[in-house]
Amino acid sequence: MGRTTSRSEPAGAPRVTVLTGAGISTDSGIPDFRGPQGVWTRDPQAAQLLERGPYLADPAIRRRTWQMWRDSPVWGARPTPAHRSLVDLERAGLLAAICTQNFDGLHQRAGSSPSTVLELHGSLTWTRCLFCDSRERTADVLARLDVDPDPHCALCGSPLATGVVMFGEALPGDVLDAAVEAAATCDVFVVVGSTLTVQPVASLTAVAAEAGARVLIVNAQPTPFDRMADRVDRRPIQESVPDLVAELLTGP
């Protein structure tokens, strides 16, 4: 699939799309989910807190889930050098999009443009009604948990949930479409800190490879898509990603 060069993009420069997973944020103090020491690896039952069916059916699960969000290390986390290096890529006019599986908002806090960050699994920043889709800031909901441990919608009375996509829910279609387009039209597709086991996001790697992009995978553990990669880097993310960005900025 062809593309045109934008006015902000240097002529002949590679167009880069990045897919980030939980691994880019672990050095911020946010544990991943499926890694060797991941939240769900150590406690498989914890995944139930993000399943739509049980969440709707059981007030006790909803209360536990809200306590989990209130206690999450996300709120005190700071962007890593890897997050910040992607900002350099954007400022140089090379970055098409950051397709992220994360809901921690660290790309935006690092300085990435909100329009560049495609939050495929939603965001913890806002909270929604599960039926009428009214919204409010998650921070406001968390502030009243002591008196309202199972918050419901003020408009329709239905349970509230954060903007994080739950198991049993579809990914936001417009965001997924934009991610597919970014994967299909890039010259370089970089995967950072993802196990590439969660669909449909993992398949973005195949979309990029089949469209002719160079695929670079930065992840400590093997992924199902390593065979498609032009390069696999097992080094620590905070070392390898800034090095990779420097390489892309200087060109061949």
The residues annotated as belonging to the active site are 121
Give the Cα separation of 23 and 207 in Å (integer).
22
Beta pairing partners, 198: none
H-only helix segments in 93-220: 106-110, 138-143, 173-184, 204-210
> What are the tokens at 87?
């900002």
| Half-sphere CA count of 216, side-chain side, radius 13 A | 21
Sign of the alpha-carbon torsion through 83, 47, 126, 28: negative
Q: What is the largest CA-CA distance in the chain?
A: 59
> Within 13 Å, how many C-alpha atoms sit on residue 192's CB side?
31
Joined together, the tokens standing for residue 117 give: 């960050």
